[in-house]
Amino acid sequence: MAERSEAGGYRPVRVGPYTVGADQPLLWICGPCVIESRDHVLMVAERLRRLADELGLPLVFKASFDKANRSSGRSFRGVGLEAGLAALAAVRAATGLPVTTDVHEPYQAAAAAEVCDVLQVPAFLARQTDLLEACGRTGRVVNVKKGQFMAPWEMRQVIAKLADVGNERVLLTERGTTFGYGWLVNDMRGIAWMQQCGAPVIFDATHSVQKPGALGDRSGGDRSMVPLLARAAVAAGCDGLFLETHPDPDQAPSDGPNMLPLDQLPEVIRVCLRLRQVVLESSLQDRNRE
């Protein structure tokens, strides 16, 4: 298992030029749910790049080339592996931002690693050993979303699977737990429990407000709760925030109800940055008193 740092009890992880972990700036993983077109992701990425420059954010651009877990087989899934990775490569070249995307099958990992700084394993696939190992063998940072059906401490085995193939560059993401039918709830204790497993923890504030399958052939959501949950997660000590964002979520082909409008993102970030500063100052004072 990875050596743990004294601050926070878990090892920081390098993501491109950034360091993620205890006492580090919040990592921001932002972008639209799915790649709609090359021009669309470039437009969103340019706006996020300007925001990152203005606020001094360590920001990773996220968009999926394929959404394999759609409610309906007729739903838009994305532009596919080849076109999607080409679009992400264009984003990386044009903005200088690190990029990430979902990987659903083991054969996709090596190709995605040629372009992406971080490979993301979706929550539904968090226990898929072959997929985890394929991602781990690329040497890229692997961000694994906790399954909606898993307890936080079960993610220790996810870290172990990646360590078994020589990869200790792991992030874990909390994105809610299934509660009854069509609801997700967040237990903020899960952030600390997953950090105790040995990895920095990202909080996914947008998928946490998702209502899976609530609209029959697609998922619903309540984006008005995104800022509240983001603030709560920062106060609970998360190491980064995952926020899907779109210029016009109501017209987005995937996850529109739970994506944050792009023009609302700056204020959410500013509030979270102020909270993060309070958390860091409080943590430092606690250590000085020990």
**pTM for the full predicted model:** 0.92
Residue 249: which residues within 8 A CB-CB, separation 6 or more?
223, 256, 257, 259, 260, 261
- For the stretch 175-204, pLDDT in tens is 999 988 778 999 999 999 999 999 999 999
CA dihedral over 47, 48, 50, 51, signed as positive or negative: positive
pLDDT, position 140:
98
d(CA 29, CA 99): 9
Structural domains of the chain, with CATH: 13-282 (3.20.20.70)
d(CA 155, CA 119): 17
**Could you say which residues of the chain have pLDDT below 50?**
1-7, 214
pLDDT, position 75:
66
Q: 227: closest CA among 253, 208, 211, 250? A: 208
pLDDT, position 3:
37
pLDDT, position 7:
47
pLDDT, position 70:
58
Which of 52-87 are b and which e, b meaning 16 or more Cβ less than 10 Å from the residue's Cβ? beeeebbbbbbbbbbbeebeeeeeebbbebeebbbb
